Amino acid sequence: MFRLGIIGAGIMGERLATAALATPDVVELAGVWDPQPVAVARIVAAVPALHGCPTAVEVIEACNCVYVASPPASHLAHGAAALAAGKSLFCEKPLSVDLAAARAFVAEHAQARAAVNFPFASSLAVARLIEWLPELGALQSLTIDVAFRVWPRPWQHDAASWLDRREEGGFTREVVSHFLFLSRRLLGPLTLNEALVQFPEDNRSEFDIRAKLMAGAIPVNLTGNVGNTPKDDHNAWTLRGEHGAIRLRDWSIAERQSDTGVWVPDVDAMPNERARPAALRRQLEGVARMTGGEAHHLATLQEALEVQEMVEAILAS
């Protein structure tokens, strides 16, 4: 059991607060702060068990774990304040918009009770992929495809002021990073061979990326674009081996390819809206273990830094 304080009253803060409310045996909500009072009022209305705090300092004082869900430019300052106060830290990705600052932060806090919110660490669909991995034999290739009707996605409209800006936003940081984390954790260190990124105009986030990477010894082909699909959000992480292929589709559907080439979903597969509560509960259980100084399965600061380095290398291309 731990007390969770939240800094940042946007969509991610509300999601974890709602999950915490449904997990009273694991976590108790301590309070929330956001520089925008209207955002605090909105999240408190959505999660009545949560109360607003006048300052971020008061959130930190009221809890023993701080969830930093504010825009990326503020992550390290809030994270450092939480750790300096002796609290554990659960942070949204990316760690920062400044790679040098992120590297220094990770080096300083390598032994801290800190983790980053990559939900694939707790995904039941990913757990199924891991079960299937040995059946593939020698691994041959990985493809990562993401596509969006518009960016930001409709449910992110309130955060468009930074999500569609080159300094902090873009789908490579927000979405592709999850699949890079998954690739790194399951297949090995990532290296970038080449990349092409297209931006629509000055200071706007990217609308098309093409990249070739390596995950360990496995070649990776990455594509992402905005405007070429009728779906708000479509993605597929497809791993091929000498004895077949498996994939994660649309965040939560684990599938195997049959001998006839048809993709067959896992019998327990469900849409992301239904799968998310289970993953969030597992994330919170991991946060409880991390806060208690126990071993956990969450994304480490080092893993998050490696993902951020790869994302920024792609965008710099």
- 115: buried, middle or exposed (CB in 10 Å: 19+, 13-18, 0-12)? buried
Q: Is the Cβ–Cβ distance between 206 and 172 less than 8 Å?
A: yes
**Confidence tier at 200 by pLDDT (50, 70, 90):** confident
Question: Residue 103's CB: how many other CB atoms inside 10 A?
Answer: 15
In a domain, 86, yes or no: yes
The arithmetic mean of pLDDT across residues 216-240, rounded, is 96
Q: Are 265 and 130 found together in one domain?
A: yes
DSSP-derived pairing of the beta strands 65-68 and 88-91: parallel
Q: Are 104 and 226 found together in one domain?
A: no
- The pTM for the full model equals 0.95
Encoded amino acid at 1, one letter: M
Could you report the per-residue pLDDT of 130-188, keeping only the tens digit for each? 999 999 999 999 999 999 999 999 999 888 888 999 888 999 999 999 999 999 999 99
- Structural domain for 164, as ranges: 121-272+306-316
CATH number of the domain residue 32 falls in: 3.40.50.720
Encoded amino acid at 133, one letter: L
Predicted pLDDT at 202: 78
Q: Are 106 and 126 found together in one domain?
A: no
Q: In what order do the strands lie in the sheet with 234-241?
A: 190-198, 208-215, 218-226, 139-148, 234-241, 244-249, 253-257, 263-265
Q: Are 16 and 139 found together in one domain?
A: no
Q: Are 214 and 71 found together in one domain?
A: no
Q: Are 265 and 125 found together in one domain?
A: yes
Angle formed at CA 309 by CA 305 and CA 311, multiple of 5 degrees: 115
Where is the domain boundary, 53, 79, 112?
A: 112
Instruction: Name the nearest CA neighbour of 185 among 33, 38, 297.
Output: 297
In percent, the amount of the chain with pLDDT more than 70 equals: 100
Q: Are 127 and 237 found together in one domain?
A: yes
**Confidence tier at 1 by pLDDT (50, 70, 90):** confident
Predicted pLDDT at 294: 97
The pLDDT of residue 201 is above 90: no
